[in-house]
Amino acid sequence: MNPDEINVEKGDFVTLRLTSESLVEVHVHGYDLEGNVSPGEETDLSFEADTTGRFEIEDHETEAQLGTLLVQPR
Amino acid sequence: MRRVLIPVLAPLLLLPLIPQPAVAHGFGQSYDLPLPLWLYLYGAGAAVLASFVPISLFAGKQKSGEDAPYLYPHFNLLRVGFLRALLTSRTLLSGLRLLSVGLFLLVVVTGLLGRQNADANFAPTFVWIIWWVGLGFFTAFVGNVWALVNPWKVIFEWADTLIRRLGARNGLELREPYPASWGLWPAVALYGVFVWVENVFPGSSTPVYMAVLVLIYSVLVWGGMVVYGKETWLRRGEVFSVFFGLLARFAPTEVRVVDPTPCQGCSDTYGTVEKGCVNCYERFARAAPEDRELNLRPPAVGLSRPEPLPPGGVFFVIAVLAGVAFDGLLETPLWNELRRDLSMPQVVGLVALPLLFFATYLGFVKLSQLSGGGTGGIRRYAAAYVYSLVPIAVAYQVAHYYTLLLVQGQGIIRHVSDPFGRGWDLFGTAGYSIYPGVVDAAFVWYSQVALIVAGHVVAVYLAHLVALRLFEDPGRALRSQYPTLALMILYTVFSLWIISQPIVVEEQSIETAPQEDSPQPAPMENLREPPMPDIP
């Protein structure tokens, strides 16, 4: 994933604009967000970063880790 | 509200960057953010400054004499009517034992027959989070309930009673003499295996492997109990009884037998004085009701007793100090670089770390002996100080794991309704989803630092008590304290450092145990750096 670490602050309204060269099911732990990304398309994952912590972002199908979401306290 | 738009190129064309999530500490991911650098530095500074508080407050004010370590204030809970009725209730005790055996069997059965997915099965969450972390905290901060409900012990007692009723007069125990030189070494070896399973073994959260390991260990425990007798094996070889027994020394409760006659034979592990014995569970179970006390006491006083330790006793405590740190250390960048540079398998670190801790400990103890002018061999000094380090390990363990217990521990709410992961909903809680925001990261940071510094102060105080007893003369005791103080600062700062490090996810694609729901990720060689995303 690029960037492999996403740093935001608590209270931010975050939109992840996902693009991919292959079909992938992106899953953000803790926030339990999911987004299906198809090649050549943009998929937006929007959420309010209301919980601090370090959350893994994985490919839901293979459970392989793609990157990390870090929500820092204000 | 700040709005952030982050363009993300999700996966690579070929393969994800890191093939598998970390499998450290058995099961369950912590959402903790690493401690910020400034807080780490403050914490380390606070630990150094706070070291002098107990020394300056309590220097030279200790009672001396043989019984001194037992002369702390305590209050017998059994003197309160309703508590006595509750705590000595046969029904409650039998209920707890039944529950414990039921949970033990449930772990085995769900492990063998349940869905082989760690997130869907009862066993991983229960064993690694509720039992290992949760019961550890309970033991350290409430008391040693494991001695009452240990399922291996309970099942053995049931079988023993049954076989006696069927006519076998001597029951199940052969009571072969246990070799004195073995001491606690069986427990040391088993603790090593346990830490390996917890932190290194890739199948640590695969239910069927867990069930098989539990069964193998059961054969070992019952074998040990049959050959050497139940009580001997519980004190020497049943590693969880030894481990929780160590944590129970920190606990604010104790069981005490007032009449000293039944205390013979407990001296090497639990301590005997003329006034009776403390936390000698088997004697307590046998004592007359009027001789039993269940005392509330100041926390950690059980760690300041000058008891002789069995062979391997010092090493067991040191191995626990290292084992507690191992899980966090595995995830630090430094450790991972070190491993890569030395191409060192994880298991080498597992063996090397306690040895390194042990050598460091002996070095500082020797210095302490020299600067206090102590005579004789190092053995006596090494045994005297070793318990005083335990509060730092307890504090670190809590700092490291309490959010895991509070957040991932919630998973058990879901699993009780569907223990096998077969889509049941026994209690209507199968759909429960974990709420990750129980504690805010800033609170987590401050509480972690506060806990570790507090553990450090308690440890310094205990070491001070030990020094006064060893050296008698307050001046010499004080001089002997500087090396032990340095050792404690080292261990405390090391603990703080671990939680301040960014977490490295371990790369292990090949060793990963099979999981029904997750196909094997492809090997590492195919990795490519991703191209830069097109930023809209």
Cα B61 from chain centroid (whole Å):
33
To the nearest whole Å, the CA of B185 is away from the closest chain A CA by 39
Asked if A25 is an interface residue toward chain B (Cβ–Cβ < 8 A), one would say no
Give me the pLDDT at residue B532, please. 41
CB-defined contacts A:B, below 8 A? 146
Cα torsion through B218, B229, B161, B97, rounded to 10:
-50
Report the SS3 class of residue B285.
helix
Best B5, B8, B407 member to test A by mutation, with max A CBs in 10 Å, is B8
β-pairing, B276-278 with B292-296?
unpaired
What residue has token string 């398998």?
B345
- Distance from A19 to chain B by nearest Cα, in Å? 5
- A39 contact B CB<8A: no
Query: In which residue are the tokens 């063996």 written?
Result: B351
CB contact under 8 A, B10 and A20: yes
A72 vs B: CB within 8 A: yes
Q: In this predicted model, what pLDDT tens digit does every residue of B352-368 receive, in sequence order?
A: 999 999 999 999 999 99
- C-alpha–C-alpha distance, residues B135 and B146, integer Å: 8
Q: What angle do CA B486, B489, B491 make, to 5 degrees?
A: 110
3-state secondary structure of A70: strand
Q: Can you give the pLDDT at residue B61? A: 59
| Spans of chain B, pLDDT less than 50 | 13-24, 268-272, 507-536
**Which pLDDT belongs to residue B270?**
47
Pairwise CB contact (< 8 Å): B436 & A30: yes
The whole-angstrom separation of Cα B318 and Cα B387 is 9
C-beta atoms surrounding B97 within 10 Å: 19
Q: How confident is the model at residue A5 (pLDDT cuts 50, 70, 90)?
A: confident
Is B410 in a helix, a strand, or coil?
A: helix
Nearest CA in chain A to B408: A30
Residue B47 to residue B442: CA distance in whole angstroms: 20
Give the per-residue pLDDT at B319. 97
Residue A40 binned pLDDT confidence (cut-offs 50, 70, 90): confident
Taking 3-state DSSP, the helix, strand and coil percentages for chain B, each rounded to the nearest 5, stand at 60, 5, 35
CA distances from B74 to B77, B130, B242, B450 (A): 9, 30, 24, 26
Assembly ipTM? 0.85
pLDDT of residue B3: 85
Please report the residues numbered 492 through 531 in chain B whose beta carbons come closer than 8 angstroms to any beta carbon of chain A: 503, 505, 515, 517-519, 521, 530-531
DSSP code of B118?
Answer: T
B33 touches A: beta carbon within 8 Å = yes
| B482 closest CA partner among B357, B364, B318 | B364
Nearest CA in chain A to B16: A66
Tell me which chain B residues have a C-beta less than 8 angstroms from the C-beta of A50: 437
Q: Is A37 on the interface with B (CB under 8 A)?
A: yes
State which residue of chain A sits closest to B535, comparing Cα positions. A17
Inter-chain touch B10–A18, beta carbons under 8 Å: yes
Contact A65 B21 (CB under 8 A): yes
* Gap from B444 CA to chain A (nearest CA, Å): 10
Residue to mutate among A13, A33, A63, A66, with most B CBs inside 10 A, is A63
Q: Where are the alpha helices (DSSP H) in B229-376?
A: 230-236, 239-248, 281-286, 313-330, 333-341, 346-372
Q: Judge whether A73 is closer than 8 Å to chain B, CB to CB.
A: yes
CA distance to B85, B443, B500, per residue, from B190 (Å): 38, 36, 30
Interface check for B17 against chain A (CB to CB < 8 A): the answer is yes
The whole-angstrom distance between B437's CA and the closest CA on chain A is 5
Closest by Cβ to B6, choosing from A16, A42, A73: A16
Residues in chain B: 536
Contact A17 B3 (CB under 8 A): no
pLDDT tens digits, B292-316? 999 999 999 989 876 778 899 999 9
Nearest CA in chain B to A2: B9
A10 CB neighbours in chain B (<8 A) are: 440-441
Q: What residues does A64 pair with on adjacent strands?
A: A59
